[in-house]
């Protein structure tokens, strides 16, 4: 039987008692799901995506093989691929640097057996914040930068800012950090929150 993890599907007091029991029992499945919010878990996942592509090219001719593929696919594909590659690196660095995972890793993925002891709750909070930051960045990229493989429907066009001045460079962690220190990132958050409010979509929905 799977865990009941949706508070909307059960009475609030029942759900609260149920989660309390899972924590008292230190249920390993519940401990695993808590870790899905951990900054170290997010960093490991992001690094895994980078390593997956690195391994692919190691097995298909390395940089020379990649360049040959670019020549066959054309310049537009090259630019799109290199940007995706840069975004994978930025996502990882958001968790490693901005949210301070600091190259920590974890193979246990069980909150109740966390190898980082008292810091585990801090890592959960940092992970939740960093994931929110990344969702804003990714949403911004989709809605400001052209070049994606889909057409914008007329009913959605008000949310796309193609041709407008860029607010951040999504391929640069340094610029993202600077944007958080001035008002540029606040503008992205304000637009994204307006989008979510008016469309009824969650933060991860595009």
Sign of the C-alpha dihedral, residues 22, 23, 27, 32? positive
Q: For residue 198, with 0-12 CB atoms within 10 Å meaning exposed, 13-18 middle and 19 or more buried, which class applies?
A: exposed
* pTM for this prediction: 0.88
Cα–Cα dist 91/39, whole Å: 12
Instruction: Give pLDDT tens digits for 4-23.
Output: 566 666 778 877 888 888 88
Mean pLDDT of the chain: 93
pLDDT at 7: 61
**Displacement of CA 107 from its chain's centroid (Å):** 20
Q: Residue 1 has what pLDDT?
A: 44
Per-residue model confidence (pLDDT) at position 14 = 77
pLDDT tens by residue, 55-106:
999 999 999 999 999 999 999 999 999 999 999 999 999 999 999 999 999 9
Kindly state the tokens that stand for 76.
Answer: 């537009």
Q: Is 93 helix (H, G, I), strand (E, B) or coil?
A: helix
DSSP letter for 150, please.
Answer: S
Q: What is the pLDDT of residue 3?
A: 63
Alpha helices by DSSP H, listed for 59-203, are 62-73, 75-93, 120-144, 173-181, 184-199
Distance CA 119, CA 15 (A): 26
């Amino acid at each position: 039987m799977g865990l009941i993890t949706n508070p909307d599907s059960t009475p609030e007091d029942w759900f609260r008692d149920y989660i309390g029991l899972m924590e008292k029992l230190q249920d390993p499945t519940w401990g695993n799901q808590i870790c899905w919010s951990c900054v170290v878990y997010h960093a490991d996942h992001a690094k895994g995506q980078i390593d997956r592509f690195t391994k692919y090219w190691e097995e298909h001719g390395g940089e020379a093989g990649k360049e040959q593929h670019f020549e066959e696919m054309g310049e537009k594909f090259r630019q799109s691929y290199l940007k995706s590659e840069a975004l994978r690196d930025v996502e990882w660095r958001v968790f490693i640097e901005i949210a301070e995972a600091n190259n920590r890793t974890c193979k246990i993925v069980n909150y109740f057996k966390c190898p980082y002891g008292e810091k585990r709750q801090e890592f959960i909070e940092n992970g939740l914040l960093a994931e929110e930051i990344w969702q804003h960045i990714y949403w911004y990229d989709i809605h400001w930068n052209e070049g994606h493989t889909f057409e914008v429907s007329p009913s959605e066009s008000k949310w796309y800012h193609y041709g407008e001045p860029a607010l951040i460079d999504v391929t640069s962690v340094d610029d993202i950090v600077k944007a958080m220190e001035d008002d540029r990132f606040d503008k992205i958050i304000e637009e994204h929150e307006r989008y979510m409010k008016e469309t009824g979509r969650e933060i991860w929905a595009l």
